[in-house]
């Protein structure tokens, strides 16, 4: 039996060439496939950690009154925690949003697709606030209590208009 394979990294595909047909050869082939699959999953979920890093960076750089050169409220630790909680609730199957500090002292998540689709989602106090324009006259906005789950309206918008490409 001859076997050649490369250990997968997060960004490189797995390569292997197996000439053998034994049970051991098939088991190795199966294990390598599972490892490659797990690596693809981990790479696709990396955006969550990146967003959490951005929240931390924003909270550190915008912690003073007037951080925007005007009269913006400081981004508090509480705002950063709520933004992190919101990030954890996002479905895995959507595009990565931008993390945006707001002059109100909150942190929002924003999605943009060309000039056609724009959506903003943030937590303000105990409320989840959202607004979006989706081309033409299609708009959606609202405010709901921030809880352990995303409201179905917000979830539908994210999965319909901003699926992962």
pLDDT tens column, 113-154: 987 899 999 999 899 999 999 988 899 999 999 988 999 999
pLDDT tens column, 39-88: 545 445 589 999 999 999 999 999 999 999 999 999 999 999 999 999 99
pTM of the model: 0.72
Judge whether residue 17 has pLDDT over 60.
no
72 secondary structure, DSSP code: P
Return the pLDDT at 1.
47
Q: DSSP string spanning 82-150?
A: HHHHHHHHS-TTBPPPEEEE-TTS-EEEEEEETTTEEEEEEEETTEEEEEEEESTT-EEEEEEE--SS-
Position 99 confidence tier, pLDDT thresholds 50, 70, 90: very high
**3 versus 31: which is more confidently predicted?**
31
Residue 159 burial (CB count, 10 A): 13
Return the pLDDT at 13.
39
Q: What is the mean pLDDT of residues 107-114?
A: 94
Return the pLDDT at 15.
42
- Joined together, the tokens standing for residue 133 give 């324009």
């Amino acid at each position: 039996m001859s076997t050649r394979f490369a250990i997968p990294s997060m960004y490189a595909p797995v390569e292997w060439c197996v000439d053998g047909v034994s049970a051991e050869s098939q088991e190795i082939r199966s294990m390598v496939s599972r490892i490659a699959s797990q690596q693809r999953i981990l790479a696709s979920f990396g955006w969550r950690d990146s967003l959490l890093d951005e929240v931390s960076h924003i909270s550190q750089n915008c912690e003073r009154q007037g951080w925007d050169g005007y009269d913006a409220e400081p981004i508090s630790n509480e705002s950063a925690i709520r933004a992190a909680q919101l990030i954890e609730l996002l479905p895995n199957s959507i595009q990565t949003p931008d993390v945006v500090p707001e002059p109100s002292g909150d942190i929002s998540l924003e999605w943009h697709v060309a000039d056609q689709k724009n959506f903003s989602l943030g937590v303000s106090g105990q409320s989840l606030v959202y607004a979006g324009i989706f081309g033409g006259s299609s708009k959606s906005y609202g405010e709901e209590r921030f809880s352990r789950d995303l409201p179905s309206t917000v979830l539908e918008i994210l999965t319909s208009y901003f699926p992962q490409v």
